[in-house]
Amino acid sequence: MSDTIPLKKPTNFIRNQINTDLDSGLHSSVITRFPPEPNGYLHIGHAKSICINFGTAKDYDGWCNLRFDDTNPAKEDIEYVNSIKKDIKWLGFDWNGEVKYSSSYFNIFYKCAEELISKGLAYVCFLSADETREYRGTLKQPGKNSPDRDSGIEHNQTLFKKMKEGEFIEGECVLRAKIDMSSSFMCMRDPTLYRIRFETHHQTNDDWCIYPMYDFAHCLGDAIEGVTHSLCTLEFQDNRRIYDWLLEHLDEFKKTDRPHQYEFSRLNLEYTTTSKRKLKLLVDSNHVSGWNDPRMPTISGLRRRGYTPASIRDFSERVGVSKVNSLTDVSILEGSIRDDLNAIAPRSMAVINPIKLVIENYPSGKLESLKAAIHPQNEGMGEREIFFGRELYIDKEDFVEVAPNNKYKRLAINKEVRLRNAYVIKATHFETDEEGQVKTIYCSYDSDTLGKNPSDGRKVKGVIHFVESSKAISAEFRIYDRLFLDPNPAKFDDLSSTLNPNSLKTKYGFAEPNLSQAKPEMVYQFEREGYFCRDSESEGLVLNKTVGLRDTWNQ
């Protein structure tokens, strides 16, 4: 491992390549870039790419540019630009200098296209979309040359200028590179470089009516900015040939230290889709409430659900960098957030399925103020005030009439349990409603057991949580589960066929009064229930379940 890599950082093929380039003197610094298209919100797959691009540059004391690939105004919006910048900052990264846009280089791109035309390496093609597909051939059969392929240089220069001046309608013609229609790589069969779009651009307004394709703009943007290592996902592996061909045929960028593209595996996560197109369909079809729905794998959805920047960065480290696509176990992501929240989340109690409990031998009207640790493993976080009185709420699942066996550790008639941070109680009888469901549980308490075991030496094994009724605050609990039933929803053309009908359950219960001070996106660990954060989009106390205390999906 090169001594340029900080200790404790795992090596991978990207770092090995960087080490080679630095040691050989090909590059003296590391410059990367993150080039999102502003046509949707970033998701967990983008988060991995952000961590790789920004993180790698940072580790080598280099820098990473944020450059928006804004070459298709029909699908882009300033809303997405703003959300992307917010997500990157939230993840803990910052870009070098000002935000960059491919649209800032449109004049340079245009001149590069003119250079290719002047060298006989690009031509204006009038084939329709269907004809272009027909002429392209198949994986087993070579393509056919366009009738316009051998038109003269001056003729193509004139036509391209007319394209720029808006003299052709959308779809009437495109500018194509003249490479090889018999290439075994489909992407090299005279790929399109420019197409016509009469759309108002969010940065350039109506200055242009022709827009470069991604493959053309991407490599030129990298070269203009002096990017040394262009890191992207494996679906662009074949397109690296276009990347190299273009830079090698343009005089200004044909240099030994020009950018080179390196591909790593895309993040494919179980029970999740990271297709931006399919995520947009979920939003547009109202299967979710929006891009930041807590069930969505978007960064904004994960943030709203209670995921932390540190947990997502840790997840990216755990997944690692490879050249092999695979389906990542979602428990790895959930493990990252559990580990982070276990260390930092304040503790509290909430009753999600409440049932009333009355302590008959506790004085009426008395209310005790008790102390409980905010975090039992971190005394520095201090203590919180909880309350105890005659009437409490406990969870319905914590009571049965008859204990099923000697190992049962919750409340049953004539069985004792401890209330967390309070007293030992024993259930004596209960009332039911008209449907025979338990409505109220009646108990007695041992007043000499606050913070200590019964004096006569009897053993009390179980501990249950509670909330005192007069101080309890009402809360809405949103219990989220995986959005899809199949671990690989990408194989479904229609995602609605594998949507989990129980991906969201809403319950109404009670929480400790200190939760009234919870800030949006603040996460708490609730006794035995899991981690919950205050929703950032709702009025009142709405708590989103981030993750359970342990993985129970396969249990």
pLDDT digits (tens, 9 = 90+) for 296-350: 999 999 999 999 999 999 999 999 999 998 899 999 999 999 999 999 999 999 9
Q: For residue 110, give both structure tokens.
A: 């245009």
The single-letter DSSP state of residue 103 is G
| 227 and 294 both lie in a single domain | no
118 and 253 assigned to the same domain: yes
Nearest CA to 503 out of 327, 305, 338 is that of 305
- Domain for residue 552, yes or no? no
* Residue carrying structure tokens 């090995």: 16
pLDDT of residue 1: 34
* 264, 287, 305 - which closes a domain: 264
Three-state SS at 542: strand
Overall number of domains in the chain: 3
Catalytic: which of 164, 189, 195, 276? 276
- Alpha-carbon distance of 154 to 435, in angstroms, equals 88
Respond yes or no: is residue 37 known to be catalytic: yes
Tell me the CATH number at 174: 3.40.50.620
Closest CA to 226 of 409, 41, 33, 86: 33
The answer to the question of residue 179 being in a domain is yes
| pLDDT score for 94 | 96
Q: DSSP for 14-73?
A: HHHHHHHHHHHTS-SS-EEEE---SSS--BHHHHHHHHHHHHHHHHTT-EEEEEE----T
The question of whether 410 is a catalytic residue gets the answer no
Which listed residue (241, 266, 396, 409) is catalytic? 266
DSSP-derived letter for residue 235 is G
Whether residue 543 lies inside any domain: the answer is yes
Domain match, 218 and 107 both:
yes
Are residues 113 and 197 both part of a single domain? yes
Q: Which CATH number do you get for residue 372?
A: 2.40.240.10
Token duo for residue 329: 């176990």
Phi, psi (rounded to 5 degrees) for 153: -60, -50
Choose one of 423, 439, 465: the last residue of a domain. 465
Q: Based on the domain organization, do 337 and 286 belong to the same domain?
A: yes
Residue 310 is part of a domain; what is its CATH number? 1.10.1160.10
Q: What is the reported pLDDT for 552?
A: 60
Contact 387, 513 (CB under 8 A): yes
The confidence score (pLDDT) of residue 9 equals 63
DSSP structure class, residue 234: G
Q: Could you tell me if 78 and 90 lie in one domain?
A: yes
Q: Look at residues 51, 34, 43, 125 and name the one whose alpha carbon lies nearest to residue 83.
A: 43
CA distances from 409 to 38, 398, 404 (A): 54, 9, 10
Q: Which of 329, 289, 294, 337 is nearest to 312 (CA)?
A: 337
Residues 383 and 509 occupy one common structural domain: no
Domain boundary residue, one of 437, 465, 493: 465
Q: Which domain holds residue 334?
A: 276-346+475-547
Same domain, 105 and 244: yes
Residues 174, 282, single domain; the answer is no
Give domain status of residue 7, yes or no. Answer: no
Residues 68 and 207 in one domain: yes
Same structural domain for residues 126 and 238? yes
Kindly give the confidence (pLDDT) of every residue in the chain, 555 residues in length, as a single tens digit, with 9 standing for 90 and above: 344 434 456 789 999 999 999 999 999 999 999 999 999 999 999 999 999 999 999 999 999 999 999 999 999 999 999 999 999 999 999 999 999 999 999 999 999 999 999 999 999 999 999 999 999 999 999 999 999 999 999 999 999 999 999 999 999 999 999 999 999 999 999 999 999 999 999 999 999 999 999 999 999 999 999 999 999 999 999 999 999 999 999 999 999 999 999 999 999 999 999 998 999 999 999 999 999 999 999 999 999 999 999 999 999 999 999 999 889 999 999 999 999 999 999 999 999 999 999 999 999 999 999 999 999 999 999 999 999 999 999 999 999 999 988 889 999 999 999 999 999 999 999 999 999 999 999 999 999 999 899 988 888 989 999 999 999 999 999 999 999 999 999 888 889 999 999 999 999 999 999 999 999 999 999 999 999 999 999 999 999 999 999 876 444
Instruction: For residues 382 and 293, state if they share a domain.
Output: no
Give φ, ψ of 304 to 5 degrees: -65, -30
Whether the model clears a pTM of 0.85, i.e. scores above it, the answer is: yes
